[in-house]
Every structure is written in C-alpha cells, then in structure tokens.
Structure 1
Amino acid sequence: MGRGDLTNAEWDRLESFLPRGGARGGRWSDHRRVINGVLYRVRTGVQWRDLPERFGPWETVYKRHRRWSADGTWAMLLSLVQAAEDAEGRIDWDVSVDSTAVRAHQHAAGARKVPPAAVPQKGAGQGTNRVDPVLRGLAVRLEEVVSSGECLGRSRGGFTTKIHLAAEGRCRPLALVLTPGHYGDGPHLKRVLEQVSVPRAGVGRPRSRPDHVLADKAYTSRKNRCYLRRRGVRHTIPERLDQQRHRHNRGSDGGRPTGFDRERYKKRNTVERAINRLKGFRAVATRYEKRAYVYLGTVTVATLMIWLRT
C-alpha cells in the first residue's frame, strides 16, 4: 500500500457500495487499484499520463473518474458515508456556509460546448433506491454546470472557479456547489443548503435541515434571512453597517434589529478549516479539468476522503 492509498478499513467501508458490472455486462477492472490511482492524482495534481504504473493504464483511471463524476457514483459514495456517520450520531448539525475561489490552470480553458445530454452516463448505483434523490440532485447540478459555461469566471488574475460549500461542526463538507469565480456568495446560500441531503439509515426522507446556520456578512440579505425563517432554521449572520444605518433611518418601519450571538459566531471557523482541508488536495487547489462536472467529481473525491479519514 502506497502513501495516500485506501487502507483496509476504508476499503471495507466502500467496497459493498461500488458498481458490479462493467460495459455491456462485463466486469470492471480492480476497483481498489483504480480508486487509489484517482486518489494519487487528486492528492498530487499530476497529469493523468504521469500516473505511476502500479495503478495500471492511465486511460482506465481517467475514464473511470470521468464516468463516475458524470453518473453520480462519487456523490453516491459520499452520501452513504455521511448516512453512516449520521446514524451513529457523529454529525454536528451546526452548519457553516462560505465559499473559496480556485485559480484555473490555463489547460482548463478551451473546452468545446457540449449539451447536457452529451455528458457520458453509466448505470452506477443500480438497485440503490435510497440514493435516488442524490442522483436526481446531481442531474440538476450537472445541467446547471454545463449551462454556466463550465464555471469559469474572469478576474484580474485570470480564470477562476468558486466552490460554495456547507460544512458541519466537525469541519467536513456536507454540500458543494460550483459557480464561475466572479459570482457573489449571498445569492447562493439557498442553493447550497438545498444540496444538504443525508439519507437515513432506515426508512424516511433524507435529513436536509440544519439545527443552526452560521455565515459571514456576505450572506446578510433580507431574502436569505426570510428563507431561513421559512424553513425554521435558526441562524447567526452579522448585519452590515450600511444595513444598520438604513434600518435606523427608517425608524419604526425599519423593523427590529437582527439577533446576533457573538460567542456562537466564533464556531464559523469550521467552514474555513474545511476549505483548508479541501485545498490540501492539489487537484482541488488548482483546477486543471476543462469540464466542470469532472472538477466537481474531483472535489467530491477529496470530500469523500475527508469524511473517511476524519
């Protein structure tokens, strides 16, 4: 076993969830070896052609990662690991929301425009009815990703992609959303929280409502606060100074001041630490993929390893 490869305990947790059949009813090549190749590339950021020979042909590793990014296998594995953690009470549902900008390598530009129907699909997760909502949600995200121009935004430093995420109280990402780098944070609070969906161990709908939401001033819009109140989610979000002045100038029409728990707000650092963990993977810290759905799969693999090893 090489450095960074799956341990026996980690492999035992994943093996039963992996798809059995290959193309046209054939068999997949060794799942563990291929996954270790994907992990090596996500951790080091090397080009696919430079993968060590112990992982087998690089084309096999790349195509497996690309296919599983498209058909929801990585998202399915992450969802099932989260469900196991929640069943044992090891998820802190004080959720923090934030985003981080990722510099896109020059090789990430130049992808040809492809309609969503042309994204490769394969029958992963067959017979797993409990993750059907995960796959349906992934289909919506893939359509949004393709329609947003591969999530590349222009800035002074070049092309960037922004990762919006919600992290639970133990610094592990619960949900991920990609946008172009110049998009704002506040308008995507609802979209990020709607991606939080942890399946139940038994029967019942997935859990999607946090106990508490923490976010910085970028999310302090009236629309976001109304959305959280409508869902019955308590939140701690500071108010900007201009909003405070505007409310004071309106007098009684300005409404009551927003509640703010300064001590509880200190817990928001969990999402910053989750971002640091994600960017410890070099293929996440710098985007090399042309296709946004493949990069989303790369970030999902890194998130899966954080859940397995934390």
Structure 2
Amino acid sequence: MPRLMLSDEFWSKLEKILLQEAIYNKHNLRMTVEGILYRMRVGCPWRALPKAFGCWNSIYKRFNAWSSNNKWLRIFKALTIDPDWEWGFIDGSYVKAQSPSAGAVGQEAQAIGKSCAGNTTKIHLAVDSCGLPVEFDITGREVNDCSAAPQLIAKLPDVEVIVADKGYDSEYIREQIVKKKGVKAVIPRKRNSLKSNADMDWGLYRYRHLVENAFTRLKQYRAVATRYDKLKRNYESMVAIACGYLWLPM
C-alpha cells in the first residue's frame, strides 16, 4: 500500500468542501483524491499510479474534469480560512517544464516560455503574514515580476503592507499599492534608481523569507517543482492542490 497523505481529520475537512463543490460522493472518492495527491507528491505519469488507488484513467479523468471547471481553485480558496492580512508578501519562482508538457493541441497559450535553459513556467505567489499562500498566477517564463504584479496585487484584500524584492521596483506598482486604501509598499529600490531607500523599512523586509519558504514547501511536491502537465489549467490545479494542502492543518 503506498503512503497516503490524508489523515481522517484532514479528509473529514476536505470532504465537506468537495461536496459543496458538487463533487459526487462515490465510494472510492477518498482513494481518488489520494491518487491525485500521490501524483502531485511524486510527479509520476498518470499511468504509473499504484493500483491501490484504482484505475489510473478514471482518476485522471476526474482530475481533468474538476480542473476544467476550476473546482480545484475554488477548493483552495475555500480552505484559505481567515488569512492574516497585516502583511502580504509577493514573489515569483521559475519551474522547469519537461518535454511531456509540450505539444498541447490548439493555439491557446499554455504558460510555457522559452529560455536558454529550455521551456519554463513561472509561479507568481502571494502569501499572508503567516507565510501561507493566498493567491497565485501562472505565466510563461518571459513574463517578468513587474508585468505580473498588478494582476496579483489586485486580487489581494485590504492588506496593510505589501513586501516585495527589487524585481518589483516600479513606480507604477508602488502607485497601485498606495492607491489600495493607503497600503504601504516595502520594496527596495534598485542600485541605479534616482531615489534613495531612506524610507525603507528594512526590519519588515527581513520577513520576506516567508514567501520564499512557501515556495520551498510547495516545491517539495514534484509535480509542482517540475511541470509535466500540457495544459495550463491542469498545472494550475496542481499548484492549487499543493497550496490547499498547506492550509489543511490550519
């Protein structure tokens, strides 16, 4: 029997949310979800799922159907109960997209960009004061932090302070943050900036490691650390499952 990830306490909490999302409570629902979590953890092909979870094709079809209806994203949001919005931290991290992720049918962009290292996807993540993920976006490697930040910041509620690194040093981003009901921006200026860091809160900036720690925890799951999914929505669902799993003990 392969190692499972859901205790009875975790499953009881997750099952209620699944039923709220109109997911039919079949007799093998728990093992189906465990099979999806197993694939997220080890990054194996769907066909390589252990038989203990059931038919691999049935598990994949259910995952794909729930993904196409954005159910995994809604499940993640349902698990984010009472985030601490005193501080918010944002950052981006690259993910190598392996050859199985290439060749999706259709002309729709699948958030895979070219780089000298090959195909790459980027996760743009926002965490709360406790370092728990609350929002994220998936883009190709060519989308830099400044380009993705406005959409990510717009999703955040009335957080008091937003902390980010030099990659977000942009007057447009600072203005967007300040206009969010007077939110304070803690972003160091680049070396070639004409303005100084005289008003920089370096004490608070030291806590920016919380978002980096969140990436470290998410990338413990190999289907998140390395992209194998052809479709953006399916990889997005894998990231949503990983983020939601971090919230289960809360």
| TM-score band, normalised by shorter chain | over 0.9
In structure 2, the residue matched to 1:194 is 154
The one-letter amino acid of 1:192's match is L
SS, match of residue 98 in structure 1: strand
In structure 1, the residue matched to 2:184 is 234
SS, match of residue 200 in structure 2: coil
Q: Give the count of matched residue pairs.
A: 248
SS, match of residue 66 in structure 1: helix
In structure 2, distance between residues paired with 1:156 and 1:100: 16
SS, match of residue 134 in structure 2: strand
1:183 aligned onto 2:143: yes
CA change 1:307–1:220 in 2 (3 A) is: same
In structure 2, the residue matched to 1:105 is 98
In structure 2, the residue matched to 1:273 is 213
The one-letter amino acid of 1:158's match is G
In structure 1, distance between residues paired with 2:216 and 2:25: 38
CA change 1:19–1:223 in 2 (3 A) is: same
Aligned-pair CA distance for 1:159: 0.2
Alignment of 1:132-171 (within 5 A): 146=108, 149-171=109-131
CA change 1:290–1:241 in 2 (3 A) is: same
- Identity across the alignment (%): 32
In structure 2, the residue matched to 1:5 is 5
SS, match of residue 93 in structure 2: strand
Structure with the largest fraction of helix: 1
- CA RMSD in angstroms comes to 2.0
Aligned-pair CA distance for 1:38: 0.3
In structure 1, distance between residues paired with 2:89 and 2:25: 41
In structure 1, distance between residues paired with 2:41 and 2:153: 27
In structure 2, distance between residues paired with 1:69 and 1:211: 33
In structure 2, distance between residues paired with 1:9 and 1:233: 38
Give the gaps of 5 or more residues in structure 2.
Answer: none
2:69 to 68, 71, 82: 71
Aligned-pair CA distance for 1:63: 1.2
CA change 1:109–1:258 in 2 (3 A) is: farther
In structure 2, the residue matched to 1:221 is 170
Aligned-pair CA distance for 1:308: 1.1
The one-letter amino acid of 1:167's match is V
In structure 1, distance between residues paired with 2:36 and 2:236: 14
In structure 1, the residue matched to 2:222 is 282
Aligned-pair CA distance for 1:17: 1.9
1:41 to 27, 39, 42: 39
TM-score, normalisation: structure 2? 0.92
In structure 1, distance between residues paired with 2:248 and 2:58: 24
The one-letter amino acid of 2:79's match is V
TM-score, normalisation: structure 1? 0.75
Answer with 1 or 2: which has the greater Rg. 1
In structure 2, the residue matched to 1:59 is 57
In structure 2, the residue matched to 1:126 is none
Whether the 8 Å CA contact 2:130–2:210 is kept in 1: the answer is yes
In structure 1, distance between residues paired with 2:12 and 2:213: 28
Whether the 8 Å CA contact 1:81–1:307 is kept in 2: the answer is yes
Aligned-pair CA distance for 1:2: 5.1
Whether the 8 Å CA contact 2:125–2:135 is kept in 1: the answer is yes
In structure 2, distance between residues paired with 1:80 and 1:221: 33
Aligned-pair CA distance for 1:209: 2.1
Give the gaps of 5 or more residues in structure 1.
Answer: 115-145, 197-207, 249-256
Whether the 8 Å CA contact 2:85–2:158 is kept in 1: the answer is no
In structure 2, the residue matched to 1:123 is none
Tell me which moved more, 185-194 or 156-165.
Answer: 185-194
In structure 1, distance between residues paired with 2:207 and 2:2: 36
Aligned-pair CA distance for 1:91: 2.7
The one-letter amino acid of 1:15's match is E
